[in-house]
């Protein structure tokens, strides 16, 4: 599979006076990328432009340097799993996937549909009508139709919605496999643990804007100015609390009388990592343990959303 790179260059999209996507620039390469953002952040609009069914109001979206919009050649490389339910409830799963294989003009549409349905483990229900499927099954059949032409790029809008835990794990495995094969896989989600579990790389959108980009830990590290919380164990917690609060890098200290746990809120990650060992050394206090209490993507995300 030759590597495919999607480039979004200063892209905006507005609907009347609603700016859904605002001056976004990003590059999406092979492997799995998570597009993270709360509802209404502009994820679906961006995916629509990446897939080539929505025109940017400004800027360009290209796949390996070729404009995506109005370019049927490019569509052959892209598979899209839209958020919306397909309105083809009267078709069987087989007919639905086969129709997509035929639309792509594949040489052997039947073989392609068979392969795609097997990939998502839906052969057992392929003779039943899509309208009778559970939400998770509909999601899988949409996935089969997106995969029917064996695309190098796979775009999925909120693919885990409505899936039960087993289906979710199955889809995660499938996407990991797609990423490992060198495909460019982008999925959107507002559920932080999904993104954290699956994506090597994340792009964060908030209110139409591109809020952050990179590895989850890198993004966290970039945000050195937000408050960070730590739990500390030392040879003299009370003495350390007093010494830390005397410095401006510490926003708050809390020494729990009952449990003896010292928690500290630092204003800046970098300043605090420099301050703590110095203060401890000067006061002759030994540090036994320093652990961050807010490592979760949830805390990073709520920080981005608030800012
Ligand atoms: N066709 C449209 N006409 C008018 N406004 C639209 C249209 N599509 C999207 N919007 C608006 O653009 C903004 C971004 O919507 P979008 O669906 O892209 O966000 P999202 O991050 O995908 O959210 P969700 O997870 O809820 O789908 C919203 O304010 C939405 O109301």
DSSP letters for the chain: -----EEEEEEEEEETTEEEEEEEEEEE-SEEEEEE--TTSSHHHHHHHHHTSS--SEEEEEETTEE-TT-HHHHTTEEEE-SSPPS-TTSBHHHHHHHHHHHTT-SSHHHHHHHHHHHTT-GGGTTSBGGGS-HHHHHHHHHHHHHTT--SEEEESSTTTT--HHHHHHHHHHHHHHHHTT-EEEEEES-HHHHHHH-SEEEEEETTEEEEEE-HHHHHHH-TTS-EEEEEEES-HHHHHHHHHTSTTEEEEEE-TTT--EEEEES-HHHHHHHHHHHHHHTT--EEEEEES--SHHHHHHHHHH-
* pLDDT given at position 295: 53
CA of 40 to the centre of ligand 1 (A): 5
Question: Ligand 1: which of 24, 39, 44 to mutate, most ligand atoms within 8 Å of CB?
Answer: 44
CA of 207 to the centre of ligand 1 (A): 10
* pLDDT given at position 15: 95
CA of 22 to the centre of ligand 1 (A): 12
Atom 1 (ligand 1): residue with closest C-alpha?
15
Q: Which CATH class is domain 6-221?
A: alpha beta
CA of 21 to the centre of ligand 1 (A): 9
Ligand 1 atom at minimal distance to the Cα of residue 190: 25
Residues of the chain with CATH 3.30.70.100: 225-294
Sign of CA pseudo-dihedral 126, 127, 130, 133: negative
| Residue-wise pLDDT tens digits, 114-131 | 999 999 999 999 999 999
Instruction: Retrieve residue 67's tokens.
Output: 């404009």
Complex prediction ipTM? 0.92
Ligand 1 atom at minimal distance to the Cα of residue 16: 4
Mean pLDDT of the chain: 87
- Ligand 1 residue neighbourhood (C-beta within 6 Å): 15, 18, 20, 37, 39-45, 190
* pLDDT given at position 43: 95
CA of 36 to the centre of ligand 1 (A): 14
| Torsional class of 65: left (φ above 0), alpha (ψ -120 to 50), beta (otherwise) | left
Instruction: Retrieve residue 86's tokens.
Output: 């397909």
Least confident of 51-55, 163-167, 226-230: 226-230
Cα distance between residue 237 and residue 287, in whole Å = 9
Residues of the chain with CATH 3.40.50.300: 6-221
CA of 54 to the centre of ligand 1 (A): 12
Task: Give the fold, CATH level 3, of 225-294.
Answer: Alpha-Beta Plaits (3.30.70)
Q: Which one is predicted more confidently, 300 or 173? A: 173
* pLDDT given at position 303: 60
* pLDDT given at position 220: 59
Average pLDDT over residues 247-261: 83
Cα distance between residue 231 and residue 134, in whole Å = 45
Atom 6 (ligand 1): residue with closest C-alpha?
15
Residue 214 has pLDDT above 70, yes or no: yes
Ligand 1 atom at minimal distance to the Cα of residue 44: 22
| Residue-wise pLDDT tens digits, 175-186 | 999 999 999 999
């Amino acid at each position: 599979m030759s590597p495919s790179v999607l480039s979004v260059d200063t892209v905006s999209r507005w609907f009347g006076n609603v700016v859904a996507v605002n001056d976004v620039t990003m590059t999406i390469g092979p492997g799995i990328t998570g597009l993270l953002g709360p509802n209404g952040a502009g994820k679906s609009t961006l995916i629509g432009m990446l897939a080539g069914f929505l025109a940017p109001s400004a800027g360009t979206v290209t796949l390996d340097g070729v404009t995506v919009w109005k370019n049927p050649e490019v569509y052959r490389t892209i598979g899209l799993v839209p958020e919306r339910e397909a309105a083809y409830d009267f078709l069987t799963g087989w007919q639905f996937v086969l129709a997509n294989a035929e639309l792509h003009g594949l040489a052997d549409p039947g073989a392609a549909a068979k392969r795609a349905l097997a990939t998502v483990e839906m052969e057992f229900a392929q003779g039943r009508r899509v309208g009778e499927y559970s939400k998770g099954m509909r999601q899988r059949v949409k996935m089969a139709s997106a995969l029917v032409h064996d695309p190098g790029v796979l775009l999925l809008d909120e693919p885990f919605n409505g899936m039960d835990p087993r289906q979710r794990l199955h889809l995660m495995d499938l996407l990991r496999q797609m990423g490992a094969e060198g495909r460019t896989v982008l999925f959107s989600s507002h559920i932080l643990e999904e993104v954290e579990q699956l994506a090597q790389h994340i792009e964060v959108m908030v209110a139409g804007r591109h809020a952050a980009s990179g590895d989850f830990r890198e993004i966290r590290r970039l945000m050195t100015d937000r408050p960070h919380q730590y739990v500390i164990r030392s040879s003299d917690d009370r003495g350390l609390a007093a010494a830390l609060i005397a410095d401006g890098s510490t926003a708050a200290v809390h020494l729990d009388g009952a449990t003896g746990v010292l928690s500290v809120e630092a204003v800046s990650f970098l300043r605090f990592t420099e301050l703590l060992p110095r203060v401890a050394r000067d006061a002759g206090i030994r540090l036994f343990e320093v652990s961050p209490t807010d490592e979760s993507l949830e805390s990073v995300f709520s920080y981005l959303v608030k800012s």
